[in-house]
Amino acid sequence: MLDLAIGIEKEFDNLDIMTLRNEIRNNYPHLDYLRIIGDGSLRNGGEVVFPPLSFKAESTWSINSQVNDIIIGLGGRISTQCGQHVHIGLKPITMNSEDFNIESIRLFRQHKYFQDSTDHLQFEVIKDVCFRYAKYQSDINKLVSRSRRGSRYCYEINNRLSQIESSTNISQLKNSISGKFNAINLTNIQLAPNGKIQGKGTIEFRQHQGTLSTEKLKNWVEFLVNLIDYSKNHRFTLVDQGTRYMETLTNTMPYNTKLYKVFQMIQTDEGATTREIMTQCGINDARSVRRTINTIRRKLGSTQSVITLNQEYYGHLNGTSNQQYDLNGYKIPQQIERISQGSIQLNDNDDCIWSNLRQDLKQWFHNRITRLQ
């Protein structure tokens, strides 16, 4: 199954947001990156906004459980006004899931969003997810509490089915669902002139009721990720592998920033050593240089965009850095090869929302439907 970044927005009631902020600041400083904000639908509550975290990482769910325990311990609870919104990123995670979480949390503290991939899901996949959700809206309604069926904060989208089906691009698809307060919200999907997703690039699923149960949330998220995974990996066939082309790399980093200066230094015939970068750009240590290089790679959207050169390349013997690891270097080539995304076509008529979901999770949802009835 795909590993996708999830952004949790956990609403709670009966607890002042300042009380929760102070509790985390004073007793849980390792969670200080969480954003605790007010919510217009809750008079005496708010929501906890999490950074993008890997669906597959164990730490994602241990963090969620700890936040649940803190809220419950302070007397917080869930009311019928609470929703559990889940953003799911459209760029599959390719790195180790725990490493993704570490880097995402680090950048979230700086009010930035981390993505380790530039390859987003195709329009056809996004459309298919919306189509299947809308087609089986009445079945999905049975998975959530009555307060989230037809709620003005998450309107059902089954009446948009024909518009979704006739959409031929992302703009038409967004217009077919229209607006934020729907079971599915596409307003965070923005396209750059080159057709790539920019900004957050998420599908927000808004229909689940508020919950302080990690089991309920994790199972709901797995249901959603499976919905996306099945559309991508089972409903479509790749018919065009994409076209290879050469792209000239230019310095598009913000002018006069550290990233801009490093880019200028290393896009030369010999590149620059870590020590030279530290000296000329005011960077304290080799680890910080590596982080800067990784940021440039990520912004350029390719691991090929920055070449790592060992210290022997610069004429230094192995071990002569005295464990400072600052005699290696980096170089940005003038051009790199890229491959266009290619195209896909629908090949599977099985659009059931339960397809490929593990059997024990199907049974869990079946039991839940019975309880909610």
pLDDT at 194: 55
The phi and psi torsions of 326 (rounded to 5 degrees) equal -120, 15
Distance set, CA 155 to CA 150, 158, 159, 188 (Å) = 5, 9, 10, 17
**Interval 320-344: pLDDT, tens:** 777 778 889 999 999 988 766 556 6
> Do residues 339 and 243 make contact, with C-beta atoms less than 8 angstroms apart?
yes
DSSP alpha helix (H) spans, the chain: 17-27, 58-73, 97-108, 123-135, 137-141, 161-166, 170-177, 214-233, 258-266, 274-281, 286-300, 359-372
Count Cβ atoms within 10 A of the Cβ of residue 60 and give its class: 0-12 exposed, 13-18 middle, 19 or more buried: buried
**Interval 226-263: pLDDT, tens:** 999 999 999 987 656 557 788 899 998 989 899 999 99
Cα–Cα distance, 12 to 26 (Å, whole number): 20
Distance set, CA 128 to CA 33, 92, 280, 284, 351 (Å) = 34, 17, 50, 48, 9
Cα–Cα distance, 373 to 371 (Å, whole number): 5
The separation between the first and the last C-alpha atoms of the chain, rounded to the nearest angstrom, is: 31
Q: What is the pLDDT along the chain (373 residues), one digit of tens a residue?
A: 999 999 999 999 999 999 999 999 999 999 999 999 998 888 899 999 999 999 999 999 999 999 999 999 999 999 999 999 999 999 999 999 999 999 999 999 999 888 887 778 888 999 999 999 999 999 999 999 999 998 999 999 999 999 999 998 888 999 999 899 999 999 999 766 555 666 668 999 999 999 999 999 999 999 999 999 999 999 987 656 557 788 899 998 989 899 999 999 999 999 999 999 999 999 989 989 999 998 898 788 777 899 999 888 888 887 777 777 888 999 999 998 876 655 667 787 899 999 999 999 999 999 999 999 8
Tokens found for residue 174:
């967004």
Cα–Cα distance, 309 to 305 (Å, whole number): 13
